[in-house]
Structure 1
Amino acid sequence: MLAVGLVLVTALASGHAHADTRDVAARVQEQWKVAGARTASVPTRFVFDDETILVPIPPEPDDHESACTQVAVVGARGLSFRARLSDAPMDPLLAPEPAARASSMAGVLELRRCEAGRPAVRHVVITAEAGRGAVEILVGRSDRPLAPLGSIIPERTGGAIPPPAEAGSLPPLVPLEKRVDAAEVRLRREGANVRERTLTRSGDEGSGEEELELDEGCHRIEVFGREPVRERPGRRFRLDLDAELRDGDQLLARDRTEAPDVRLETCVGSATDVSLVYAGAPPRSEVVVTRGTWPLPARLPPIWGPVARSKMARVMFLRHVAVPADDPVYLAQGATGVTPLPLSVETGACYVAVMGVTRGRARQLQLRAFVGGRESTDERGASEEAALSAFCVRAHESARLEVLARGTGVSWGLALFRVKSGAWETGR
């Protein structure tokens, strides 16, 4: 009865959130009509974590040609997403189109195109950043810009945001050579095999590309640039390198943090040629690349192939899980949908479950562990194509795992390891 009650409460909460979303969308559409706009609505769409969808916008009738097109995207208050007009300029060297891209605030955002000579809005690209749920998409067309959403649904705005305080000049960075030395000291302290440094130079735009060969194992690649000499002491300049590691069209790792240097971490199941692409360095300046490697965990099962094994190794590597000392005590595999996995466990023992996608492309991947009345969930698996959960069993407790996989042609493999109390130590 308790389980049925929880399911009922969850369903009612979800239904209430969707009803609120529809009510907010209806208010926006009504106010746009009062303002003389011609409105249209797109069928409700459902977005998952980290999912990107392309939404077609209904075309305008041939006998009308509006000067302005405004698109409102409305979701639940706790849903975070961003959107852009599909043909908005993506080149950072081009001037951005005003109001052609936006991030949600309290579950709503708006896009607008009112420039003469621009093509009609055909599609909108929506990307979910946190949470999943239904979104309503409204289109309003008029001869002049419509009122902003903040004046129609003020409860969905964050209020006035004060300008950030000026922090003053940035302190100087530690010299390049010392930052590189410190990175290699960290690698040796963590037991890595430190490779020879690679020296290269950035191009005229401060970007560059380097071809690397990765052996089987887990790798940490760091990229360092030299801070330019400031022409004026009071001038603010922040060195911020960004980089990606790619195997052809497949993205292995990305660092777009606001930090001077880059750290990329990945694992490969066999020798792989990869491309390191970076940007943000001063033009025509020295760039240093350091590399550290660790062997793949020897106890990871090879039965699903080197790619799946590398995904499992990567999720353990990124979350600093100790390498299992023994073979897995349980193996399982499955496909799309929800798969329950009852376990035979020992009282007082601790376990680590790790899974990886063996085929297909998952748009949602979740691993849940139920132990007695406790539950742990890893919902970050869609982007990494792997997930991990750890748990310990007390007296008179049973345990089971549950895998949720969504996508086309998805299959996965799972290994359960019995470990000691040091499962979360930082040894590789």
Structure 2
Amino acid sequence: MAAARGLVERGRRAAAGAARGAALALLTALAGLSAAAPARADLSDDAARVARMWSLSGARVARLSPLFIEHGRVRVVAVDPPPAGAAGAAGAAGPKAEECLTVVFLASRTVEFTLEPDSFAGEPSALEGLVHRLRGQDPEDERRIHSVAGAAAILRCGAAREGLRRVAVEVLSTRGAFDVVVAASSGPPERLEAILPERVSGPIAPRGDPGRPAEPGPLDARVARAARRARADGASRVAPVEMRASSVGTGQFSVKLSEGCHRLDLMAEVPGVAVRRATDLDAEAREVGTGRLLGRDRSDAPDTRLDFCLGEPGVVEVPFLGAAGPVKVVLSDAQWPMPSHVPGYFGARARGNLAFALQRRRAPAPRAQAIVEAVGAQGDTLVPVQVEPGRCYFAAAALVRGEMRALRISVELGDRAARDDAGEHSEGAGVAFCSEIEESAAVRVSARGGSPVWVLSVWPMD
């Protein structure tokens, strides 16, 4: 009997211990979940924190209704001083002549916006505004306050606070939601950076020393790689030419090139001595006779590359600098034939620029004559084009004469559009497009420069 009672007692103690263990495990799990849950603060929490900290310092604080502003739309917000008895200052006296008014706009940290008060003390005079305009400056920029990490604040004290009655908000991002906090205080309240330190950008780290440039490797291997790369891109012929640079690493090639497209790769030998100048070739190609710039490469790479097309055979000068002393320099000329059906009756310059527009976009050579050809000048020109449903086309615009600062071609087809801008030192632009069910397309050419004359060609493509 005693043994039975002992057995029952041991069972009770075991059950109680198991229950306590289960309860302890549950509490531990709940504590772990509580610790693992991240502390998340949204926009309203940030605004509440600012309002609370300013209220604790004795300021009268009010929060305005939230705002939602789209890009390109300016919203004018009326800012009234918090009334007497507002949060943090119950029973406080009304506005005083010397008190300060602060308004802060808070948005997501990725939103960029500007604030512009209706007026402010020290507004520039008409004469100062004229000086700003003559210098190419916008006096309105001095009025605008740019946001940092989605936050911006304006403080005005004394009579200047009347300028905060209305504040214009302009969103530079796509769109943004805003919380607005207004505070009236006897002096400047606590700075926004101290209340929301997570919105403060840290100091910019020094750039440091990246070290010496990477070694380009043996010259023969680089020349072979350039030739393989050109042949893989469809070059019909690769011809290397070499010379020795001057003692300061400069020189000039003068080569006679055939009509068609060319890729000139310039590579310099790297000396075997330990102490030497870094190899960083810069070069440009100019047409002899006219002096027209065909291409330029001033990148930080050890080798340089120039791409252009010639409408007729000619002599091209290629000056260079940046070799590591009197070393061997190789110019590798990769050649592509002139695409068929590129017209020559507009002149050699236009023919080369049309060919380069095709080459730059890696478009195949046209297999038929152009269905549309047009000539234009400075400004925007719209050219309607009749197209066949289910067929693709390539439109190219090229400079014939004059000087070009900007050249753009765009095509609108139904609800679709495509465009291309001529790159730097380029005089041709092209774009491919396909018709689905449309029977017409609108081709627009925009040219800016010194009396530019351009030609447009539209080819059907298989």
Q: Give the TM-score range, shorter chain.
A: 0.5 to 0.7
Over 3 Å counting, the alpha-carbon distance change for 1:283 and 1:298 in structure 2 is: same
Alignment partner, residue 397 of structure 2: 355
The equivalent residue for 1:48 is none
Counterpart Cα distance in 1 of 2:238 and 2:380: 43
What are the within-5 Å matches in structure 2 for residues 251-270 of structure 1? 251-270=293-312
Alpha-carbon distance in 1 for matches of 2:272, 2:337:
40
Amino acid at match of 2:334: G
Deviations 1:63-82 (A, max 9, x none): xxxxxxxxx79999xxxxxx
* Residue identity in the other structure for 1:239: T
> Deviation above 4 Å: which 4+ runs of structure 1?
9-13, 72-76, 165-171
- 1:373 maps to what in 2? 415
2:300 aligned counterpart, secondary structure = coil
- Cα separation, partners in 2 of 1:296 and 1:159, compared to 1, 3 Å: farther
Q: Does 1:242 align with 2:285?
A: no
Change (3 A) 1:376 1:203: same
- 1:314 Cα deviation (Å)? 1.5
Structure 1 residue 185, shift from structure 2 partner: 2.2
Q: Which residue of 2 aligns with 1:161?
A: 204
Task: Report if aligned partners of 1:354, 1:389 keep a CA contact under 8 Å in 2.
Answer: yes
Q: Counterpart amino acid of 1:362?
A: M
Q: Distance in 2 between matches of 1:159 and 1:380?
A: 40
Contact 1:366/1:381 (<8 A) preserved: no
C-alpha change, 1:162 and 1:408, in structure 2 (3 Å) is: same
Distance 1:221 1:381 in 2: 18
1:43 counterpart residue number: 134
Q: In structure 2, what residue type is equivalent to 1:404?
A: S
Deviation at 1:347, TM superposition (A): 1.2
Aligned-pair CA distance for 1:270: 1.3
CA distance change for structure 1 residues 228 and 417 in 2, over 3 Å: closer, same or farther?
same
Q: 1:172 to 1:366 in 2, by over 3 A?
A: closer
1:204 maps to 2:247? yes
Matched, 1:188 2:231: yes
1:364 aligns with 2:444: no
- Per the TM alignment, residue 382 of structure 1 is displaced from its structure 2 partner at its CA by 7.2
1:231-282 deviation digits (Å, cap 9, x = unpaired):
26xx9x6421111111243211111112111111111111211211111101
Q: How many residues align?
A: 289
**Displacement of 1:334:** 1.8
Is 1:306 matched up with 2:397? no
Are the structure 2 counterparts of residues 75 and 294 from structure 1 closer, same or farther at C-alpha, using a change threshold of 3 Å? farther
Give the corresponding residue for 1:391: 433
Q: Secondary structure at the match of 1:321?
A: coil
The 3 A distance-change label for structure 1 pair 335 and 261 is: same
Preserved CA contact (<8 Å) 2:269 2:327? yes
Q: 2:455 aligns with which of 401, 406, 413?
A: 413
Q: Kindly indicate whether the alpha-carbon contact (under 8 Å) linking 1:354 and 1:388 is maintained by their aligned counterparts in 2.
A: yes
Match of 1:110 in 2: none
CA distance in structure 2 between the aligned counterparts of 1:11 and 1:252, rounded to whole angstroms: 40
Could you say if the C-alpha distance between residues 231 and 398 of structure 1 is closer, same or farther in structure 2, counting changes exceeding 3 Å?
Answer: same
> Given that residues 223 and 267 in structure 2 are in contact (C-alpha distance below 8 angstroms), is that contact kept between their aligned partners in structure 1?
yes
| One-letter code aligned to 1:245 | A
Residue 323 (structure 2) aligns with: 281
Contact 1:193 1:293 in 2 (8 A): yes
Matched residue, 1:338: 380
SS at match of 1:274: strand
**1:203-224 deviations in Å (ceiling 9; x for gaps):** 1221111211112111111111
Is the contact made by 1:184 and 1:194 (CA closer than 8 Å) also made in structure 2?
no
Question: Do 1:197 and 1:288's aligned partners in 2 also have CA atoms closer than 8 Å?
Answer: yes
SS in 2 for 1:315: helix
CA distance, structure 2, for counterparts of residue 335 and residue 260 of structure 1: 40
CA distance in 1, matches of 2:135, 2:391: 47
Measured in 1, the distance between the counterparts of 2:330 and 2:421 equals: 35
Q: Which has the higher helix share?
A: 2
Letter in 2 for 1:411: V
| Deviation digits for residues 90-133 of structure 1 (CA, Å, limit 9, x no counterpart) | xxxxxxxxxxxxxxxxxxxxxxxxxxxxxxxxxxxxxxxxxxxx
Q: Do the aligned partners of residues 389 and 74 (structure 1) sit closer, same or farther apart at CA in structure 2, a change above 3 Å counting? A: farther
Distance 1:355 1:224, change over 3 A: same
Distance 2:424 2:303 in 1: 27
Per the alignment, do residues 173 and 379 of structure 1 end up closer, same or farther by CA in structure 2, a change over 3 Å counting? closer
Partner of 1:177: 220
Contact 1:302 1:309 survives alignment (8 Å): yes
**8 A contact 1:308–1:358 mirrored in 2:** yes
**Structure 1 unaligned residues grouped into runs of 5+:** 1-8, 14-19, 46-71, 77-157, 421-428
- CA spacing shift, 1:300–1:230, aligned 2, 3 Å: same
Q: Which moved more, 1:189-198 or 1:164-173?
A: 164-173
Q: 1 CA distance for matches of 2:395 and 2:384?
A: 13
Give the distance between the partners of 1:385 and 1:266, measured in 2 at CA.
10
Q: 2:260 aligns with which of 211, 217, 224?
A: 217
Give the secondary structure class of the aligned counterpart of 1:320: coil
Percentage of matched positions with identical amino acids: 32
CA–CA separation in structure 2 for the residues paired with 1:336 and 1:348: 33
Letter in 2 for 1:388: G
Q: What's the counterpart of residue 323 of structure 1? A: 365
**How far apart are residue 309 of structure 1 and its match?**
0.6
User: Which entry has the higher C-alpha Rg, 1 or 2?
Assistant: 2
Change (3 A) 1:191 1:403: closer
Match of 2:337 in 1: 295
Q: Normalising by structure 1, what TM-score?
A: 0.59
